[in-house]
Amino acid sequence: MTSVKQLFDLTGRVSVVTGGATGLGLQMATALAEAGSNVVICSRKLENCEHAAHGLEKLGVKALALACDVTRVDQVEAMKDAVMQKFGRVDVLVNNAGRAWVAPPEDTPLEHWQQVFDLNITAPFICAQVLGREMIKAQRGRIINIASVAGLVGRDAKTYNSIAYCASKGALVNFTRDLAVKWAHHNIRVNAICPGFFVTPLNEKMLEQTRDYVLRGIPLGRTGGPDDLKGIVVLLASDASNFMTGAIIPVDGGATAW
């Protein structure tokens, strides 16, 4: 029988976190590093990635910073090549990069709808496909898609007035389920985390105006904090979740339990 510490240990594994240089991505990248995984941080801004990677290396793991526009197949292929050259393996992919466009449905420009879908659902497909090929060769892997509670139900416009965001995250939820079924025979687990309201640079101004309203919708009475995604991402990246695939897990303070 394997001990709990062994089940959660990520020593020697390699985790790729898209959009991992700041915010929720950095929180999860830090958690993976704290559990022993080497970490690849990629986003469009190399300087931010390098700063984050330097911080992770202080935890005693190896970190690689890469500039990558994950909506472009050529750049994702180049990112994969760099990962394989440095580490020779990829064990975990966290599809975290995302964006929103805030506007009422009747005023949402098609251009911005498409930009949101490109990053929130097409990019996870590209990254899963490119890195998944290496996982299939190895017959092992973990893909963790960062969806949202906004992809589970319709949301009040006061807190989630972005139909493109909500629709794309809903697509990511079912992408997770379907890929989990299709790649189960390759020993690849595919799961999704659905964060609730976490304060980020994208929503902090809105929260200043609607804090009381937002908190009334969260049974625990607070927004997500700097450690609240750490446990779940390590669980899904580790052997502790060996019998989990296709799971859609809200981390929302109870907001979807009403």
Please give the span between the terminal C-alpha atoms of the chain, in angstroms, as a whole number. 38
Burial zone of 109 (CB within 10 Å; 0-12 exposed, 13-18 middle, 19+ buried) = exposed
Q: What is the pLDDT of residue 218?
A: 96
Angle in degrees, 0-180, between the axes of helices 23-34 and 230-237, rounded to the nearest 10:
60
Q: How many other CB atoms are found less than 10 A from the CB of residue 186?
A: 15
Percent of the chain with pLDDT over 70: 100
217 pLDDT exceeds 90? yes
- Whole-angstrom Cα distance, residue 219 to residue 107? 32
For the chain, list the domains and their CATH numbers: 4-248 (3.40.50.720)
Q: What is the mean pLDDT of residues 15-22?
A: 97
Q: What is the pLDDT of residue 258?
A: 85
Query: Residue 236 in contact with residue 91, Cβ under 8 Å?
Result: no
Choose among 154, 172, 176: nearest CA to 163: 154
Residues 6 or more apart whose CB falls under 8 angstroms from that of 78 comprise 68
Model pTM? Answer: 0.97
* φ and ψ at residue 40, rounded to 5 degrees: -110, 120
Q: How many other CB atoms are found less than 10 A from the CB of residue 118?
A: 17
pLDDT tens profile 36-81:
999 999 999 999 999 999 999 999 999 999 999 999 999 999 999 9
For the chain, the average pLDDT equals 96
- Whole-angstrom Cα distance, residue 229 to residue 249? 11
246 pLDDT exceeds 90? yes
Catalytic site residues? 165
- Whole-angstrom Cα distance, residue 29 to residue 64? 12
